[in-house]
Amino acid sequence: MPENNNKKDGESSQLPGIPGRRKSGFEQPFDTLQIATWIIFPFILVHYFSFLYFLIWSALAAKVILTIIFCCSAVATLYFAYKTCSIDPADDVLCHQSVANPNETEQIYCYLCEVNVDSSSKHCRFCNKCVETFDHHCKWLNTCVGRKNYRYFLGIVSSVFIMTGESFALSLAFMIESFAFPDRFLGRVLSFNDFKHYLGSSISIVALQTLLVISVFILLCIVLLVVQLCGFHIVLLWKGQTTYDFIVTEQKKQRERENARAQKKLELQAKSSNKKSADKAPVPAPADEENHKGDEDGDDDDDGCIDDDEIEGDEEGNGREVVVAHNGNEDNV
Ligand SMILES: [Zn+2]
Ligand SMILES: [Zn+2]
């Protein structure tokens, strides 16, 4: 991780080679999820053109329009994926092998790249390079996403959303139709010469329904992933954050919550031990009737620790209030 420690201008004049630095998503080592991408994308294409295409309602306009939308989104996905993976999102200093003028932008020194980089750059351990306005390392594409390729990455997310969304919607519609009107559905499917030629006229409604149920299940998983990714990046754009910023912020909030819980636990333990000390001490004469009632309530649930109900009771001013007051604590909780 880079640190805010600017190096003198002269010190970064010698740019070292960075062994193992990956420049694009097409370079090894490949990631398991990247290989999964190479399998899932062709699967969606084959699924559409060898199955869904033949099930689309007979109206030529519907078939043409839906297929054009699918093809455009598939081509756009390929284009955006190529651009995202082929563009090196590394810091300009690493890309151009030139020294950035520290007077132009705020600089930080990366001890791994051994060079001054832009303050928005973060060092990716998978790619072994500093990435300008680092967003995240995408394992599905096996490349870093930063300022230089973020818009293409958003293009992938959008086009994949359209492509998988259409496949899922069609599969779901055909599945519902096949169960609701099996005879009509099978008759319509078998009326297509292309489908007869491809699968034969002996295909049964059960086989079609099984294929559709499997298709809907697989596509639903993919669509949910894509929708979640779309929603996440829409929120990031709205907030003006990168994925990295979001994760760092969330981790900070999580640490603060854990610290607050630990602090509260310590306070409760301290009060519990104070109460035990107070119980062992001689009980003073009750000042009035209300305090006497409080002592009785406090003794009833003396289990050595304070649970949620007891905390609530303290806030309401009964039971524990008197015990705590005996020990000179500042407040009732
Ligand atoms: Zn670096
Ligand atoms: Zn990376």
Note the ligand closest to the C-alpha atom of 88.
2
Ligand nearest to the CA of 16: 1
Kindly report, residue by residue over 72-97, the tens digit of the pLDDT: 999 999 999 999 999 999 998 887 75
Q: What local confidence, expressed as pLDDT, does residue 21 receive?
A: 78
The 3 state secondary structure assigned to the chain is: CCECCCCCHHHHCCCCCCCCCCCCCCCCCCCHHHHHHHHHHHHHHHHHHHHHHHHCCCCHHHHHHHHHHHHHHHHHHHHHHHHHHHCCCECHHHHHCCCCCCCCCCEEEECCCCEEEECCCEEECCCCEEECCCCEEECCCCEEECCCCHHHHHHHHHHHHHHHHHHHHHHHHHHHHHHHCHHHHHHHHHCCHHHHHHHCCCCCHHHHHHHHHHHHHHHHHHHHHHHHHHHHHHHHHHHCCCHHHHHHHHHHHHHHHHHHHHHHHHHHHHHHHHHHHHHHCCCCCCCCHHHHHHHHHHHHCCCCCCCHHHHHHHHHCCCHHHHHHHCCCCCCC
Report pLDDT for 3: 39
Instruction: Classify residue 54: in a domain, yes or no.
Output: yes
116 assigned to some structural domain: yes
18 domain residue, yes or no: no
Phi-psi region of 192 (alpha: psi -120 to 50; beta: other; left: phi over 0): beta
Asked, for residue 17, whether it belongs to a domain, the answer is: no
**pLDDT recorded at residue 281:** 62
**Does residue 89 fall inside a structural domain?**
yes
Instruction: Find tokens 């994308």 and name the residue.
Output: 41
CA of 24 to the centre of ligand 1 (A): 16
- Decide if pLDDT at 10 tops 50: no
Give the span between the Cα atoms of 249 and 252, in whole angstroms: 5
Please give the pLDDT value at position 7. Answer: 42
- Both tokens assigned to 27: 């370079």
pLDDT at 103: 57
- Give me the residues near ligand 1 (ion), CB cutoff below 5 Å: 110, 112-113, 123, 130
Q: Model confidence over 186-222: pLDDT tens digits?
A: 887 777 656 656 655 567 888 889 999 999 999 999 9
Which pLDDT belongs to residue 48?
94
Q: How far is the CA of 81 from the centre of ligand 1 (A)?
A: 24
User: Residue 97: its pLDDT value, please?
Assistant: 56
HSE, CB side, 13 Å, CA atoms: give it for residue 130.
Answer: 27
How high does pLDDT run on average in the chain? 78
pLDDT for residue 294: 39
Percent of the chain residues past pLDDT 70, beyond the cut? 71
What's the whole-number mean pLDDT along residues 166-180? 94
Range of the domain at 115: 32-251
Asked whether 12 and 127 are in contact (CB, 8 A), the reply is no
Question: Can you give the C-alpha Rg of the chain in angstroms?
Answer: 32
Q: With cut-offs at 50, 70 and 90, classify the pLDDT of residue 18.
A: low
Is 185:109 a contact under the CB 8 Å cutoff?
no
Cis bond before residue 102 (omega within 30° of 0): no
Q: Residue 301 pLDDT > 50, yes or no?
A: no
Predicted confidence (pLDDT) at residue 5 exceeds the cutoff of 50: no
Question: Does residue 172 have a pLDDT over 80?
Answer: yes
Q: Is residue 294 part of a domain?
A: no
62 or 110, higher pLDDT: 110
pLDDT of 70 above 60: yes
Query: Relative to the alpha carbon of 112, which ligand is closest?
Result: 1
Q: How far apart are CA 192 and CA 54, in angstroms?
A: 7
Domain-embedded: residue 184: yes
What pLDDT, in 10s, does the model give residues 116-145?
A: 999 999 999 999 999 999 999 999 999 999
Distance 71 CA to ligand 1 centre (A): 39
Is 90 part of any domain? yes
User: If pLDDT is split at 50, 70 and 90, which confidence band does 164 have?
Assistant: very high
Question: Average pLDDT for residues 12-35, to the nearest whole number?
Answer: 73
What is the domain count for the chain? Answer: 1
In 3D space, the residue among 261, 316, 321 whose CA is nearest the CA of residue 329 turns out to be 321
Residue 238: per-residue pLDDT = 94
> Strand pairing partners for 123?
130
Measured CA to CA in angstroms, residue 286 lies from 90, 290, 300 at distances of 75, 9, 17
Q: Which ligand is nearest to the CA of 93?
A: 1
pLDDT over 70 (residue 101): no
How far is ligand 2, taken at its centre, from the CA of residue 246, in Å? Answer: 17
Q: Which residues have C-beta within 8 Å of that of residue 201, sequence separation ≥ 6?
A: 190
pTM: 0.70
